[in-house]
Amino acid sequence: MASARDIRTKIASIRNTQKITKAMETVAAAKMRKAQQRMRAGIPYWKRVRSVLRHLHFSQTEYHHPFLIQREPVKAVGLIIFTSDKGLCGGLNVNVLRTAVHRMKEWRSAGVEVEVCAIGRKGISFMQRVGANIVSFAHSLGDTPHLDRILPAITVLSKDYLDGKIDQIYVCGTTFINTMTQKPVLVQVTPIRDVAEEVAAQLGISPSEWLRGVEYESEAKTYRWDYLYEPDAKTMVDRVLRRAYESIIYQAVAEHLACEHSARMVAMKAASENAQTLIEELTLILNKTRQAAITQEIAEISAGAAAV
């Protein structure tokens, strides 16, 4: 049995660790609230972009952007993977990477090449270990992500798509359900389609629930819609669809950050509770050890007195 001194040292070490985990839990909770506000703030903008995209699908313009054209057969795809730069966030990164690797195996078995854009240090290091074809990456986005930090990495895939090197672009990240639940999803973003319906289908909920109460409009339309373009259709449609692509990616980044801070807060809370359980168990062992030492001393004194 360990001595009382060793047990006290262990208790002190665990208490120090518990202070760190509690501090990290508090910091993660504060960052989580800001990240959730940022995530929800982008939904109305994304909804309006989606409305414009829906109208473009039904437009009769003479110019059809590649972002709206379905290509068959699919010979190569691009995959954008979102992970965190740091650990200590439970199974968040593991679930995302497991989902991505499973889909990559399906593509490879079907003879489809995969180009990977990794966002986050964990995803970069993992994809390097598995030998994936990483064409671009980004990390150290910070707690307040800016599109300028993400744009160079995602532009590589969009350029390859426009050049015909890849036929589809997918995003693999984490979607926010609530503070305790975050689920990995993999959705197609080009050719641009209704991301809300695809994510909701994977989660088993309605699109309005995934949009956090924002009213959802169905794609079902029987009329044809068109715009008057100034200066011309090609210039305006190119700009609109490029911004739509960027807005979808940015919304995925904002949602992933909210999931990351939520997962880290939950993980640190569990670590603090586990540390408290260990402290209580070690305190009980310490008391038993001390009581055994006292009993032994009393027995030795009694035996000595009886011998005298």
pLDDT band of 225, cuts 50, 70, 90: low
Rounded to whole angstroms, the Cα distance separating 162 from 164 reads: 5
Q: Which residue has the higher pLDDT, 217 or 112?
A: 112
**218-243 mean pLDDT:** 70
Whether the Cβ atoms of residue 149 and residue 141 lie closer than 8 Å to each other: yes
Structural domain of 79: 28-216+224-263
Whether the Cβ atoms of residue 173 and residue 82 lie closer than 8 Å to each other: yes
Residue type, 97: L
Kindly state whether residue 200 falls inside one of the protein's structural domains.
yes
Kindly state whether residue 240 falls inside one of the protein's structural domains.
yes
Kindly state whether residue 125 falls inside one of the protein's structural domains.
yes
Kindly state whether residue 12 falls inside one of the protein's structural domains.
no
**152-177 mean pLDDT:** 89
Kindly state whether residue 283 falls inside one of the protein's structural domains.
no
Strand order in the sheet with 168-178: 134-138, 113-119, 76-82, 168-178, 181-190
Bridging pattern class, strands 134-138 and 76-82: unpaired
CATH number for the domain including 202? 3.40.1380.10
**189-198 mean pLDDT:** 69
Q: At what angle do helices 121-129 and 92-109 cross, to 10 degrees?
A: 40
Look at 37-41, 104-108, 183-187, 211-215 and tell me which has the smallest mean pLDDT. 211-215
DSSP assignment letter at 219: S
Q: List pLDDT tens digits, range 3-61.
A: 778 888 999 999 999 999 999 999 999 988 888 888 888 777 777 777 777 777 666 66
Rounded to whole angstroms, the Cα distance separating 305 from 294 reads: 17
Domains in the chain, number: 1
Rounded to whole angstroms, the Cα distance separating 200 from 42 reads: 18
Q: List pLDDT tens digits, range 69-106.
A: 788 888 999 999 999 988 888 888 999 999 999 999 99
- Please report which helix (H) or strand (E) contains residue 257, including its range: helix 233-307
Residue type, 95: N
pTM equals: 0.81
Rounded to whole angstroms, the Cα distance separating 86 from 131 reads: 21
Kindly state whether residue 279 falls inside one of the protein's structural domains.
no
Tokens encoding 202: 């994977």
Q: State the CB neighbour count (10 A cutoff) for residue 59.
A: 18
Kindly state whether residue 298 falls inside one of the protein's structural domains.
no
In DSSP terms, 79 is beta-bridged to 116, 170
Kindly state whether residue 272 falls inside one of the protein's structural domains.
no
Whether the Cβ atoms of residue 83 and residue 89 lie closer than 8 Å to each other: no
